[in-house]
A = this chain, B = another copy of it.
Amino acid sequence: MEHSVTSENLALDRQGLHQIVVDRLRKLIVEGRLEAGSRINEKALCEQLQISRTPLREALKVLANEKLVELLPNRGAKVVLLSDREIAEAFEVMARLEAISGELACERITQPELDEIHALHYEMLACYTRKDLPGYYDINMRIHALISKAARNELLQDLYQRVNFRIQSLRFRSNFDETEWAESVQEHTELLEALTKRDGARAAAVLHLHLTKKQRKLKL
């Protein structure tokens, strides 16, 4: 192995083991692979992730701060299970954050970014036509993430992501019937229009409504 250095130093350790664990665990939670409400056993998780308890416990404390897990004194951690009220609050905040992002994005988005969103929009239409729901969800999320990014405010983007982490796992609870799906697509078309015209107020309004409707589609 001619090129190898002392220790295979691929994964240039960004910032300590704990951060890697935070990201992996958060992904597991957000994707629903770690069930909401379920207990987290430190030993078991350590073995699964092949790490010692220290970085795992550090990660759990960070995720508790993000309110993705709950720390019970002397009784370990559990994946947070949102109450109906918390879900409603998250959507109320998300609707506002998206509206703000949309408004700011109208002022600050670049043409290449706008083009990319348009491209994604067509990809999304393709998924819609094929009734490919997972693909639709994925592209939809990427569009919203790009808008958040185009608002050119990293703190706003951070808050957006934070709230998004909370509600993303709820996508399994949304029942998209044919009519509602079509409606959602229509809203996206209007959003693109507003963005293209740099009509901030309209983009904000469309996004606020879009999120409010998304909330209504949740199964209770």
Contact = CB atoms under 8 A, between A and B. Distances in A.
The DSSP consensus for interface residues of chain A is helix
Interface residues of A, number: 33
A73 B67 CA distance: 25
B61 A18 contact: yes
Interface string A92-115: 110010001000100000000000
Contacts of A187: none
A86 B100 CA distance: 17
Nearest to A95: B100
A174 to B, nearest CB: 19
Given A57-B58, A61-B61, A65-B65, A90 B16 contact: no
A153 interface: yes
Interface stretch (A2-10, A124-132, A154-162, A193-201): A154-162
